[in-house]
Structure 1
């Protein structure tokens, strides 16, 4: 019985974090307090305090959870083979901007604030580790060593995030062209039969 209650509690907490993050992404951080968030979620303020110590705790946990979920969605769209690389590289920046632009803008607002900076550093250290593991999973599909794939992922992510933040086509296209050229060189080097 206790396990069911814990699962229900965790599901409710996740729902609250997602709605909270949506609220802040829609309205920004300034002037949005627990009352606004609780109204947006459809609960009372006391309910929020059953799951989070304070507003900072809510913001920190919601940001980490929601941005990790964005990463998972991004990785689920990954190329399945060398031929699929070009589709992925062309589609993903626009998909990211359309589906997650507000979330990235909010994440940078939060993680660049001095009081949240240490949480941002922790989150991005985890990003480094997760994307390295992601590169390892791509190595057998692409035939390129993960040590070469990892920095290319960071270039692509940076281009996608920059585009999601600013819709800067020039920056995006220049980054994508360099990325494509690097990939072509690696494909030629490591996959001469493809």
Structure 2
């Protein structure tokens, strides 16, 4: 099976997002009508004005083939009604994306001279440890197609404390991963699946 392209859209929301929830619901419904059936979304716990919208291109077409349904209006205008700036999207090929892992995405910035195969090998070792950790619901990662220095890691946790315990226990393993990174950012998001 070939990888499924998954888009993660970063949207900095304005007050209309919470005051008029039907605006964002209409955007999700428009994406679904256009064929993006599987979606997850949530606000950052550390930054509740940062929306993360995950869209899975798993219905037999690629992002370049997606057409926004005309009956849902102008997408840039609609997203502009709930945001303070133009959203930023990253596309990544993923072999799997179980819904149970949408709890703690991390953005990793790889070194410009990173050996991608060595990074992936190290990251897979880290994922194996994550998947075996108490309170973990699974993990996956991908390097984005549009920016090969950006990787996303998705990890599902029962609680942030479980993540911290794992990080303390696996500090040596993480040091090996950090050798490949220019920087990293971890955000905690309680995602909701769009029904």
Common fold: TM-score over 0.5 = no
- Structure with the largest fraction of helix: 1
Structure number, greater radius of gyration: 1
Q: Which has the higher contact order (CA 8 A, sep 6+)?
A: 2
TM-score by length of 2: 0.30
TM-score by length of 1: 0.30
